[in-house]
Amino acid sequence: MPALRVPKGEAELVKGKLKKLNLYDGKRRPKIEGDFVLLPVFEDDRLHSLGYEVLDIELPLRPERQIYKNLESVLAERLTKEELGHLRRYDVVGDIAVVQIPPELEHRVDDIVWGLLKVHPFLKVIAKKGFHEGAFRIRDYSIIWGEKRLETVHRENGVEIKVDLSKAFFNPRMKGERYRLAQLVRDGERILMPFAGVLPYALVIARYRKVKITALELNREAYELGLENIELNRKRLKGEIEFIHGDAFEVLPGLPTYDRVISPTPRGVDALALTLSKAETWLHYYDFVEESEIGRFRERILKECLKQGKECAVRVKKVSDFKPHVFKVCADVRILG
């Protein structure tokens, strides 16, 4: 990812200039290097005309926790210590905040709305979230403040993602994971991506790498938003995305094999054998696993590799906590032969 190498004394001034030009990537942290500061920026031709060196470097993303802490400190003015203890993490998707209001804070909804607007004055909608439902993993939401819509454009990792939370799955917390994958991918790869949703993974990877991605989604509305997203980002993408509307279990058997398969598998779906059979060098397989079962999950993958006559190295990484002791994990499966 690009960064601008600026002398320390000029950093604040240049940062302000970059912000005005919409080139500053506030989701990543700047880094001090001797007498210089590396400022995180979005890739753009204009960077090269600013008179500073442009580096390709991995600057860490700011933790989500930080924005949560801001809300907590703003609300400390109005809520008791005990009430603050009931606050849950929330998400900001474009100009929509998505919150959980536990029963203990139902009487504090107006204060929470006030606090969110103080921390994020750009918000247009605040919605309360319910559970993910059905095969398409769409959540149930009720709008508690603002415009009556759940459609917005979310900016992440240098791409714009049109989402409609009432029609398709989208999880902003996966931005770090999408960034991680984009770093692993190399130019020239052919990538298969079933369960692609509105294309967040595909867009981020194609933004930074010259690859050919074949993505697949069953939910017609997510598929149509994905097509819009390809157009929305057309000028930013280095790679190509072919998007198919269909059922992964029906379409994949008829497709060839790919260098890399990325499977953001919906919860409760077992697509391991199918996705592994389509991978030549790498499979990134997501699943939801109890902490005590992670070892067994890895063994299950190794067994499937053996069954398919593949020699594999498997590393399982916790991606996010899902509920107490249950994690969303990603198995990075390297196929050695």
Ligand X SMILES: C[S@@+](CC[C@H](N)C(=O)[O-])C[C@H]1O[C@@H](n2cnc3c(N)ncnc32)[C@H](O)[C@@H]1O
Residues making contact with ligand X (CB under 6 A): 135-137, 169-171, 174, 194-197, 200-201, 216-219, 222, 247-249, 264, 266
- Residue 52 CA to residue 18 CA, distance in Å, equals 12
What is the distance between the alpha carbons of residues 160 and 225, in angstroms, rounded to a whole number?
12
Q: Which is nearer to ligand X, 48 or 220 (CB)?
A: 220
Closest distance to ligand X from the beta carbon of 27 (Å)? 17
> At closest approach, how far in Å is the CB of 111 from ligand X?
31
Nearer to ligand X, 3 or 248 (CB): 248
- 321, β-bridge pairs: 327
Cα gap 267→197, rounded to integer Å: 14
CA distances to 45, 154, 235, 304 from 232, rounded to whole Å, are: 18, 12, 8, 39
Q: Rounded CA gap, 46 and 68, in Å? A: 33
Nearer to ligand X, 99 or 213 (CB): 213
Instruction: Determine contact, residues 309/255, Cβ cutoff 8 Å.
Output: no
Nearer Cβ to ligand X (170/179): 170
In the complex, the smallest distance separating the C-beta of residue 178 from ligand X, rounded to whole angstroms, is 8
Among residues 13 and 135, whose Cβ is nearest to ligand X?
135
| Three-class DSSP category at 258 | strand
> Hey, which residues does 314 pair with through a beta bridge?
333
Residue facing ligand X at closest CB distance:
197
Query: How many other C-beta atoms can be found within 10 angstroms of the C-beta atom of residue 286?
Result: 20
CB of 170 to ligand X, least distance (A): 5
Nearest distance, CB of residue 250 and ligand X, angstroms:
8
